[in-house]
Amino acid sequence: KQEVTQIPAALSVPEGENLVLNCSFTDSAIYNLQWFRQDPGKGLTSLLLIQSSQREQTSGRLNASLDKSSGRSTLYIAASQPGDSATYLCAVRAGTALIFGKGTTLSVSS
């Protein structure tokens, strides 16, 4: 059974810091991995999609990597800003459903 774990559960950093969020999954047989952002009381915004054949994807200050064989992905956020404060969710697709981690709640202080 696929399980997705995100560490840390919460993270507080000062503005400008570079940071890394971690995601691990137990079954490497996945189609893809998606990183989302969720603001309090809001929906999910798709940040990056990494196909199983890819190693990384970049969008602006975000870079996500995927090591399928070890069951790990990282989301790197460069030069963090207060507007980056949100919960970041990692999800893997092995079939029809996305399997989600519980998220990392990020707080960036100015």
Partner 1 sequence: NAGVMQNPRHLVRRRGQEARLRCSPMKGHSHVYWYRQLPEEGLKFMVYLQKENIIDESGMPKERFSAEFPKEGPSILRIQQVVRGDSAAYFCASSKQGAGMDTEAFFGQGTRLTVV
| Total residues binding partner 1 (CB under 8 A) | 27
Smallest gap from Cβ 79 to partner 1, in A, equals 26
* Pairing mode of beta strands 104-109, 10-14: parallel
Residue choice 1, 40, 43, 60 for contact with partner 1 (CB under 8 A): 43
Q: Which is nearer to partner 1, 9 or 78 (CB)?
A: 9
Residue choice 31, 55, 61, 78 for contact with partner 1 (CB under 8 A): 31
H, E, C per residue of 41-82: CCCEEEEEEEECCCCEEEECCEEEEEECCCCEEEEEECCCCH
Is residue 18 within 8 A of residue 78, CB to CB? The reply is yes
Contacts of 70 (CB under 8 A, 6+ apart): 28
* Pairing mode of beta strands 86-93, 98-100: antiparallel
From residue 64 to residue 93, the character string flagging contacts with partner 1 as x (rule: CB under 8 A) and all else as - is -------------------------x-x-x
* Interface ranges with partner 1 (CB under 8 A): 4, 31-32, 34, 36, 41-46, 49, 51-53, 89, 91, 93, 95-103
